Structure 1
């Protein structure tokens, strides 16, 4: 039973704002990374993408416009000099489209990794 006591309580994580469940309303906190889409920023609890967090987009299919959600943020971050790592993308990013979206390609790192190694690669990028 000791192992179960080490598992964080879901309600405690939601209360501490370390986890957000879509559809639940949280007290607004405007410390998010702007998405570049005012309507989306208004819906997200932090007024944008959460900082220092992993955000997963779950979609019914590939190629439904998900990149359009990310390009404004990626463009702003890379042109400001930040390095952006894309780990184990399902498809090789098409550089001309990313560049046309404003992404500074020199600040973009594509990390190809097998599914079993993707989390390790993600952790290494955070170090």
Structure 2
């Protein structure tokens, strides 16, 4: 390729925006580690993408999302914190280094259950940074999610009735935000097209595992399922080694013994006559 006079080569201009279909995308935008090494190895960029919307498709809303997303969100919040001050040395907070208040906020749009703050705190998510939006209609939920994405706020939105063109609007808005954005949809939505750059199907696995299938990613198709150990942090100390493993399959019931054929009983009139 040739470069324009006085400009960068075209290869450098498109670095991180193009990828071969047989390999994972190496986006130039930083990725957020998910907390699962097996999953990060299959995600373009090695983690949850930024400047993009991620769709999570689940069979039942509000059950598996937190166990999958909590490690990554916890690491994201830790990355927003400023380094501790050293004794005798003041902390200089430059405008470029200090995180904005919006970047430390997580907006929950239309969750199916009332957020349990002690449980979220046990997962490492500070309750003071959570904002709960109870939308009255699907249109209000979409509006709240889009406005939050444009404000560069981290978003977890449950949008069971969103249409493909509405997901496209959210994906376009996400291109200008470097905060994590997750859209929770029902499993049946996997049959629809979507502009989201990453789509995952999440199901309960054996024991405390999660079964994750990458339905869409920037790279080759992913055919298999990933088993992710996702024991909640507050529950893990209470589990023994035996309880961490899936329960063994119950033994099949023994086959009933074949019934013996009924013996023929002679008729009363067929008995021999007894002489006195």
TM-score w.r.t. the length of structure 2 is 0.35
Q: Distance in 2 between matches of 1:91 and 1:53?
A: 26
Name the residue aligned to 1:83. 105
SS in 2 for 1:62: coil
Gaps of 5+ in 1: 1-15, 18-23
TM-score w.r.t. the length of structure 1 is 0.70
Name the residue aligned to 1:29. 26
Residues 1-127 of structure 1: matches in 2 within 5 Å? Answer: 26-29=23-26, 31-62=30-61, 64-79=63-78, 80=80, 82-113=104-135, 114-125=137-148, 126-127=150-151
Mark the CA change 1:25 to 1:48 in structure 2 (over 3 Å): closer, same or farther: farther
Cα offset, 1:92, TM superposition: 1.6
More strand by share: 2
Q: Root-mean-square deviation (CA), in Å?
A: 2.2
Q: Distance in 2 between matches of 1:40 and 1:63?
A: 21
Mark the CA change 1:37 to 1:25 in structure 2 (over 3 Å): closer, same or farther: farther
Name the residue aligned to 2:14. none
* Shift >3 Å, 4+ stretches: none
Mark the CA change 1:27 to 1:43 in structure 2 (over 3 Å): closer, same or farther: closer
Q: How many residues were matched structurally?
A: 106
Residues 67-124 of structure 1: CA distance to partner in whole angstroms, max 9, x if unpaired? 1111112222334352111111121221111100000111111111121211110122
More helix by share: 1
Out of 95-104 and 69-78, give the one that drifted further: 69-78
Q: Distance in 1 between matches of 2:39 and 2:22?
A: 14
Gaps of 5+ in 2: 1-16, 82-103, 152-276
